[in-house]
Chain A
Amino acid sequence: MTGTLTLEGVTKQFDTGTVAVREVSLDLAPGDFVTVVGPSGCGKSTLLRLASGLETVTRGTVAVEAASTSYVFQDPTLLEWRSALRNVELVGELRRVPREERRRRALEALELVGLTGFEAQHPRKLSGGMRMRVSLARALVADPDLALFDEPFGALDEITRLQMQTELQKLFQLKGFAGLFITHSVSEAVYLSTRVVVMSGRPGRIVAEIPVPFAYPRPPELRYAPEFAELTGRVSEALGEHS
């Protein structure tokens, strides 16, 4: 595993004049799962787009060391005319992976997210949670060293959301990618990560970095532990002071 991401003094100003992020420095090493929380519109998505290369920085540097990077969007972003399996296979098609191999890997990835038996279903026949699982499978199919997540669970109901969190941290432990995960939810941020990064309101700066010491895999009951509550309290406090 080689996944690292280094942002140094990154500032992004759009053509419209909006400064979305200001002077952000962030280090992601193999084994890190960093979550970013911050008020709406503070530049979290922009930060992720900069890290992925979808946007270019105005100032500063972005360095990515990863054979393969994946990106999970806020919406599942599935191609509606493709079955779940073919949606996951898309990545292999674009990267010109031979047919047999990409099919085998897509089936594996779907199994990993618990969708065995639903390979042939089109997105319209899947529930919101299942669609997001397909999206996760698509992100994992290329065995990423670096995985970027833009509030992937934000639109899910609370029960599905907790379930997805539990599964994602298992996958993180299993696959060992370096993860950068955007969220609005403080408890989600703490539950998933090795470190929580708190951003200020726009233009987003990093105002706190709070390490999370719990070992993986993390049981769902961790959420009720006093140490957990103490950490979410600290994150909320940092958020409150700077929004």
Chain B
Amino acid sequence: MTTVEAPTTGLPVEARAVPGRPWWRTALARSLPILAALGGIAVLWYAVTYLVLPADQRFLLPPPHEAYGSALGNGALMGPMLEALGRSAVVALVGLVIAVVLGIGYATVMSQSGWAERVLYPYAVILQTIPILALVPLIGIWLGYAFTARVVVCVIIALFPMISNTLFGLQSASAAAHDLLTLNKASRWQRLVKLQFPAAVPSIFTGLRNAAGLSVIGVIVADFYFQQGAPGIGGLLRTYTLRLQMEALLTAVTLTALFGVVVFSIFAALDKAVVGRWYGGHTR
């Protein structure tokens, strides 16, 4: 009578939460494949530099050790780059927080009646289907080219996964569970806090993971187009591009990619840890 369920997941073995393993080791285990992929990219990079490009065009793609070597040792270059990355991280985080609050709120309102869902869902879909690049100039014109506008871009791009995942979660409780609450004369509020929200927790964390990744993309796009005030990492990308500073550009691109990987890994590990605990321990 003490069978323990062990549903299989599609994750590689080392990525599964293991009892007693601290969260950061889980995060590390999850990012290992990605780091391996980065290694693969480096190999490809060397191949292109030395095998594909003729010597007189090698400046277009200096090999990694040259690109990073000259940039990483250069404090005058790296200082501002890391500062810009920090600024971008703040914008992405603020955008993410706003998207989470708005997304959960919007989905909650939608979940309260079929009517509300039919009226409100199309707006979310439209928001999702307009290419962000089409909106960026408008946002700049209306909100300026600084912090606020950048945050808004992040919010717009990160909002949809929050809305759709939360809504899916709120609607995921079984009909029988709803009947149980009906039979016990649960109020609408009780239904929301005792059934729908708890049922939605895993989906909300999935949404958060996706939204975090998108918010990083959002801030880089916004930095790239909105150049007022202190630059973000996307702004530097543009500057380096215009000046054809290949070493700096390649280093900044790498930094951006690493930033994305780190953010994704953190939220994936958070997702895993919270959802595992949610169902009473490490059974997933």
Contact with A124, one of B183, B184, B185, B279 (Cβ below 8 angstroms): B279
- B1: chain A residues within 8 A (beta carbon): 127, 129-130
Check if A77 sits within 8 Å of B4, measured CB to CB: no
A-B contact pairs, 6 of them (CB 8 A): A52-B183, A69-B183, A94-B185, A94-B190, A124-B5, A130-B1
Total of A-B residue pairs, C-beta within 8 Å: 69
Check if A95 sits within 8 Å of B185, measured CB to CB: yes
CA distance A77 to B181 in the complex (A): 11
CA distance A91 to B281 in the complex (A): 24
Q: What band does the interface of chain B fall in when counting residues whose beta carbon is under 8 Å from A?
A: 20 to 34
Stretch touching chain A among B16-24, B171-179, B239-247, B261-269: B171-179
Is B65 close to A, CB under 8 A?
no
Is A122 close to B, CB under 8 A?
yes
CA distance A94 to B176 in the complex (A): 16
Is A73 close to B, CB under 8 A?
yes
Mark B residues whose CB is within 8 Å of A: 1-5, 174, 176-177, 179-186, 190, 194-195, 198-199, 201, 278-281, 283
- B186: chain A residues within 8 A (beta carbon): 94
Check if A124 sits within 8 Å of B280, measured CB to CB: yes
Q: Indicate whether A122 sits within 8 Å of B198 (C-beta atoms), given known contacts A94-B186, A129-B1.
A: no
Check if A121 sits within 8 Å of B177, measured CB to CB: no
Check if B280 sits within 8 Å of A122, measured CB to CB: yes
Check if B180 sits within 8 Å of A77, measured CB to CB: yes
Q: Indicate whether A81 sits within 8 Å of B180 (C-beta atoms), given known contacts A90-B194, A95-B185.
A: no
Is A93 close to B, CB under 8 A?
yes
Check if B3 sits within 8 Å of A77, measured CB to CB: no
Check if B183 sits within 8 Å of A79, measured CB to CB: no
- A77: chain B residues within 8 A (beta carbon): 174, 176-177, 180
Is A71 close to B, CB under 8 A?
yes
Is A83 close to B, CB under 8 A?
yes
Contact with A122, one of B177, B180, B199, B281 (Cβ below 8 angstroms): B281
Q: Indicate whether A71 sits within 8 Å of B281 (C-beta atoms), given known contacts A125-B4, A130-B1.
A: no
Is A54 close to B, CB under 8 A?
yes
Check if A71 sits within 8 Å of B283, measured CB to CB: no
Check if A81 sits within 8 Å of B279, measured CB to CB: yes
Name the distance in Å between B199's Cβ and chain A's nearest Cβ.
8
Check if A91 sits within 8 Å of B4, measured CB to CB: no
The 8 closest A-B pairs by CB, nearest first: A122-B280, A94-B184, A77-B176, A127-B3, A73-B176, A81-B198, A124-B283, A94-B186
